[in-house]
Amino acid sequence: MLKNFHDMFKFSAIPALLLFLNLPLSAQEALEIQHSCNFAAADTFAEVYTYDASAEAKQIVEQVMNTNVLPQNFVIKAADCNNALATTIGKQRFILYNTTFLENFKKDANTRWAAFCVLAHEIGHHLSNHDLEENNPAVRKRFELEADRFAGGILFRLGATLEEAQAGINTFSLKDASLTHPPKRARLEALAVGWKQAEELAANAGNTEGSVAEDSDEKKLYRQALDEKDPYKAIELLDQAIEIREDYADAYLERGKRKVDVEDVDEMRVNFGDAIADFDVYIQMRPKNPAAYSERGYAHRRVDHDSLALADYNRAIRLDAKFHEAYLGRAWVKMKTDDHEAALKDLEKATNVKPDYAEAWYWHGNIQYNFGEYDLVIADMDKALQANPVYIDALDLRAGAKMFSNRFADAIEDFDRLQKLDPEFNSHFDRGKCYQSLGKHREAIADFDASLQRHPDFSDAFMHRGLSKMILGQKEEADKDFEKTFTNTVLTTNYSIKIGCLLVEFGHAKEGLVWLDAVLAKYPDNQQALTCKTQALKK
């Protein structure tokens, strides 16, 4: 059964304050803006204060720059401007953005893409070498449409749908033209043209760029890497292959996968950013492979670039509507944002495409588990285990669902199977509670003993072992366990109520009342204690 553990931290206010005061402040600088392209309005003529850009803004710029071959010729800064603008001061090009403006783009999927649209538009001005001091309104409007078209192409390559790509313009109430900006309809069309052109280029691109001869040295190294189980050794082989042939597409894809695989052997050394860079190179050469987008989506998700992960999964699905791994990946992103209904739909699509997709059945049941739909969980885990009979997590979740459905004997069978499949898997505590509920207290005590061998300070194990000992008439031993329960927790009142209520539930109302009356003497309005006492008096 899945369990949630919460780490508890205690901080001293004074050291924390001193630590904060010692943090380096972001360097601020005043800039005099004479000419600029503001995303939603005309020139801004003002003094603005700039600050170092946030990691998030830098990531957006990095993603935009990775989708084209032109070098970055500007500096990005946070500033107290209205929204976002491109400007030139002397020979230095700048992109300035308002942090609050960028934060407001996190409300939903479309507005998250709007942040990319706005910054890509401003980047388009600089990469197109637009003269931002131009005074001719017709030329300025042409510049704006060129920047919008550039943004449309970039957003397609990043995985946005046309609707998502146009979110930056639709977010603003732009209708009429100004001296510097065309009307909204023209800007939407320019962006759509850029998006469509990028789509057509991708559709026409072959999947052969970056290929190598079958008998080449780099191909031999690549094959060795495929057979290598150690991800570090595989990466070394792929490094050598890429050194021989810099545009070897498949080697970049495989190296990106192996960089992700490092997390299985050393979580501290895995570098998802490096993996993403390899996937980026591969996708530039092979833009029609859905597996590459799905792999990159996973890496984006692991570094909390959820909007980019979602875009990659969407692109994979658009390329292949039956790509079941992408549906699972997209469901994971939606689960992170608590959009469980949408996640369930994606998981259902995955299992429709691949009925024996054990992992999708597992996560579908996992969501149902959080809803308390235990019969549905059991049905999902049955299918997961039919597809993969040694799926430990599915067996664990099914056992937990059976336990909460009061199917204690069935749950014990699953826990027994878990122990046989993986002797290190710690299911002793939950199995002990099942034995306890069936009145098999000696078996329960043995499991609680095993649980405490692994976790000597586990208050719940002491409490439940004490309950079974009390029921077996071992009062002195039970009292020792209860004492250890309270030694290892500050929640003394909660545990006193639990002990009293469980004793009442197990038919020992007299002993339970002792605990409940002690709580009620201090807290006479405690509803849980009052409810359990009422049940005890009825018995």
pLDDT of residue 385: 97
In this structure, are 175 and 268 located in the same domain?
no
384 within a domain of the structure (yes/no): no
Write the single-letter amino acid at 231. Answer: P
Alpha helices (H) along 1-136? 13-21, 55-66, 99-103, 109-127
pLDDT of residue 421: 92
In this structure, are 178 and 45 located in the same domain?
yes
pLDDT of residue 61: 86
Last residue of a domain, one of 288, 303, 318: 288
pLDDT of residue 21: 38
394 within a domain of the structure (yes/no): no
Q: Is the pLDDT of residue 8 over 50?
A: no
Distances (CA, A) of 345 to 64, 305, 327, 338, 482: 31, 22, 9, 13, 46
pLDDT class for 286, splitting at 50, 70, 90?
confident
Q: Strand 84-89 relative to strand 92-97: parallel, antiparallel, unpaired? A: antiparallel
Distances (CA, A) of 22 to 18, 27, 29: 6, 14, 21
Q: Into how many domains does the chain fold?
A: 3
Strands laid side by side in the 29-33 sheet: 29-33, 46-52, 75-79, 92-97, 84-89, 36-38
pLDDT of residue 105: 65
pLDDT of residue 22: 43
pLDDT of residue 58: 86
pLDDT class for 539, splitting at 50, 70, 90?
low
pLDDT of residue 94: 87
In this structure, are 141 and 241 located in the same domain?
no
Q: What pLDDT digit, counting tens, does each position of 432-477 carry?
A: 999 999 999 999 999 999 999 999 999 999 999 999 999 999 999 9
In this structure, are 111 and 39 located in the same domain?
yes
pLDDT of residue 4: 35
In this structure, are 94 and 160 located in the same domain?
yes
In this structure, are 237 and 199 located in the same domain?
no
260 within a domain of the structure (yes/no): yes
% of the chain beyond a pLDDT of 90? 49
Alpha helices (H) along 34-98? 55-66
pLDDT, mean over the chain = 86
pLDDT class for 320, splitting at 50, 70, 90?
very high
In this structure, are 266 and 230 located in the same domain?
yes
Q: Is the pLDDT of residue 379 over 90?
A: yes
Q: What pLDDT digit, counting tens, does each position of 264-284 carry?
A: 998 889 999 999 999 999 988
- CB of 528 closer than 8 Å to CB of 501: yes
In this structure, are 257 and 139 located in the same domain?
no
- CB of 495 closer than 8 Å to CB of 463: yes
Dist CA 469 CA 475 (whole Å): 7
pLDDT of residue 85: 84
| Rounded mean pLDDT, 233-259 | 95
15 within a domain of the structure (yes/no): no
Dist CA 268 CA 237 (whole Å): 22
- What range does the domain containing 498 cover? 490-539
Dist CA 105 CA 30 (whole Å): 26
532 within a domain of the structure (yes/no): yes
337 within a domain of the structure (yes/no): no
Last residue of a domain, one of 253, 288, 323: 288
448 within a domain of the structure (yes/no): no
Q: Is the pLDDT of residue 376 over 90?
A: yes
Characterize 329-363 residue by residue with b for buried, 16 or more Cβ atoms within 10 angstroms of its Cβ, and e for exposed. Answer: bbbbbbbeeeebeebbebbebbbebbeebbbbbbb
Six token digits for residue 318: 């658009």
Dist CA 27 CA 139 (whole Å): 36
284 within a domain of the structure (yes/no): yes
Distances (CA, A) of 435 to 324, 431, 475: 40, 6, 20
In this structure, are 193 and 229 located in the same domain?
no
In this structure, are 189 and 262 located in the same domain?
no
In this structure, are 118 and 243 located in the same domain?
no
DSSP for 458-492, please give it: -HHHHHHHHHHHHHTT-HHHHHHHHHHHHHT-S-H
Last residue of a domain, one of 288, 310, 333: 288
Q: Which residue has the tokens 């008096």?
A: 537
In this structure, are 200 and 58 located in the same domain?
yes
Residues with Cβ within 8 Å of residue 177, at least 6 apart in sequence: 141, 183, 186
| Rounded mean pLDDT, 138-163 | 88
